[in-house]
Amino acid sequence: MDKIWLRHYRAGVPAEIDLNEYASVNDMFARSCRKFSQLPAYRNMGATLTYGQLDRLTRDFAAWLQSLPGMGPGSRVALMMPNVLQYPIALFGILRAGMIVVNVNPLYTARELQHQLADSGAEAIVVLENFAHVLEKALPHTPVKHVVVTQVGDLFETHRRWIVNFAIKRVKKMVKPWRMKGALRLRTALRRGAASKLKEAQPSHDDLAFLQYTGGTTGVSKGAMLTHGNLIANLLQARAWIQCGLEEGRERMVTALPLYHVFSLTANCLLGIQLGVQNFLITNPRDIAGLVRELKQSRFTLMTGVNTLYNALANAEGFAGIDFSGLKLALAGGAAVQRAVAERWHAITNVPIVEGYGLTETSPVVTSNLLESGFTGSIGMPLPSTEVSIRDDEGRELPLGGEGEIWVRGPQVMKGYWRKPEETKNVITPDGWLRTGDIARMDEHGFIRITDRKKDMILVSGFNVYPNEIESVLASHPGVLECAVIGVRDPVTGEAVKAFVVSKDKALTAEALIRYCRESLTSYKVPKIVEFRTDLPKTPIGKILRRELRPVSHKEGNATRLTERTATGIASTSRSPPCTLH
């Protein structure tokens, strides 16, 4: 195919990356720990770990994992933590042990957690104590045999550790009672590992590194199998794109997005290690005032975020007074950046937000705008070693300007869905093309503009939400006869979940349904709006037509105005963007 975008790359950006630069994520990690051993790697709540300390602690955790009965190469280990120092230690320890990381959203309900642990076959889990009560409920129905519990301050110096952990547990009451027989404290595991031998794993590009779960069209999430080669490819692609002006060992990155999210995992965690970055881990990004205070002290040079985070910061008291003279790059992904947000951010910081596009299945980055670009309304052009094709419903490539589905091929495309060969076949062609489900046009420069979504997926603050899962929960309520879920525009989260319900109980209220959903769904999946109807539109065979429930769209140039149809019986609840610790 003609890669027309290559003619418009910035000077110095290669057409292809050398995938053989690193043998694995482990190889990259080991080299960086040696190269930057005396430099700070992670900072959280005033505590700092150097690359040398990171090397030692990950080694100890890996040795402990290898000492467990029944655990060996390929075993799955789940992580259920927000951005704390323990996260990178556990993550790289798992990889050094030759095992596979299963990232878990710590805000999952017991139902959601049970599915992911059972589906992945995880035999061990590391959980922040704040969420241990949820794990306790899910544990009996999972294959997990080894539970490691950690507190927020476990890696702080002794006096501060006691104060922080006491305050979180006893003063702020952020830890609910829990009891799991045989659960081990992380500090104990690290001590035992320090006394054990480690057989350093030597994975290849084809070996699995992560099972990164993404929403499923059948109502349950499924694990994207991301190999060491996938992740090495994407971090090298990203590095090649942003390398201009960055200095190894001298950059300071703000990590407010949770590391369990694939965007932050690659852009902040993995790329950060490769560049020798000092990573400022923000445990609770919902505390915008606290985040602003952290930014004032950090003298940061790099940042990643989603539209909602940039918007909250740009409108936060005190943000405009921060010294941005050191800021080089602000990257955005997960959800579309709004023009007003981008322009306000640029006016305050004098640095543009560089918007990209990707999927969990592509490790995740596929395209990016040029670093010097302001708001373009597009998702940019393909990264090095990446092919993007716009196809019609029959899989035929369309001419420039034609509207069709985005297909992607490159070394960052996942191996497939974990234990779901049929679903894998549905999205990956025999010659390696991934069907994304997003509808777009490509212009003569290779810039791509998304115009629609082929799938019913809803994007809430960068998190994928699938209607079938929410409809399944709603339908289980005894007062619900029928239901359907769609996404609607939301000024804070980009999109929000709206539920249409046909009730068989006249006393049923929207508030009661929302409370019911909160018992089984993490916060960003819970409907924000519930509308009661006497019936729902259906096909002749009885299938509910979600498209008939969607707002009417009026396109005006590059903007799309959404006007909701007249409705009665509507109730809504306000909701903050997804957080990591509460």
CATH assignment at residue 470: 3.30.300.30
Domain boundary among 169, 203, 237: 203
Please state the three-class secondary structure of 397-448 as a single string: ECCCCCCEEEEEECCCCCCEECCCHHHHHHHECCCCCEEEEEEEEECCCCCE
Kindly state whether residue 463 falls inside one of the protein's structural domains.
yes
Q: Count Cβ neighbours within 10 Å for each residue of 47-81 and write b for 16 or more, e otherwise.
A: bebbbebbbbbbbbbbbbbbbbeebeeebbbbbbb
Domain-embedded: residue 235: no
| H or E stretch covering 289 | helix 288-298
Tell me the three state secondary structure of residue 445. Answer: coil
pLDDT of residue 568: 30
The DSSP element (H or E) to which 290 belongs, if any, is helix 288-298
Residue-level pLDDT at 336: 82
- Which pLDDT score, from 0 to 100, does residue 540 have? 59
Confidence at 555, pLDDT banded by 50, 70, 90: very low
Q: Is residue 57 in a domain?
A: yes
Tell me how far apart the terminal alpha carbons of the chain are, to the nearest angstrom.
49
For residue 580, tell me if it sits in a domain. no
Residue 221 in domain: no
Least confident interval from 265-279, 454-468, 487-501: 454-468
Token representation of residue 132: 């241990």
CA nearest to 270, candidates 560, 2, 32 = 32
Beta strands (DSSP E) in 316-373 are 329-332, 353-358, 365-368
The mean pLDDT of the chain is: 91
What is the band of 567 on the pLDDT scale with cuts at 50, 70, 90?
very low
In this predicted structure, the answer to whether residue 296 has a pLDDT above a threshold of 70 is yes
What are residue 100's DSSP bridge partners?
Answer: 76
Averaged pLDDT for residues 260-275 = 97
What pLDDT, in 10s, does the model give residues 315-346? 999 999 999 999 999 999 887 888 888 999 99
- Residue ending a domain, among 203, 229, 256, is 203
Residue 563 lies in domain: 458-572
411 in any annotated domain: no
CATH of the domain at 169: 3.40.50.980
pLDDT in tens, 173-198: 999 999 999 999 999 999 999 999 99
Domain boundary at 203, 225, 252, which? 203
Supply the pLDDT for residue 221.
Answer: 84
Q: Decide if 162 is inside a domain.
A: yes
- pLDDT mean over 409-419: 98
Residue 435 inside a domain? The answer is no
What's the rounded Cα separation, in Å, for the pair 471 and 517? 10
Q: Indicate the pLDDT class of residue 569, thresholds 50, 70 and 90.
A: very low
What is the model's pLDDT at position 374?
86
Percent of the chain with pLDDT over 70: 92
CB distance 464 to 496 below 8 Å: no
Q: How many domains does the chain have?
A: 2
CA dist list (Å): 490 to 284, 458, 459, 468, 574: 22, 11, 10, 20, 11
User: How high is the pLDDT of residue 228?
Assistant: 98
One-letter identity of residue 393:
D
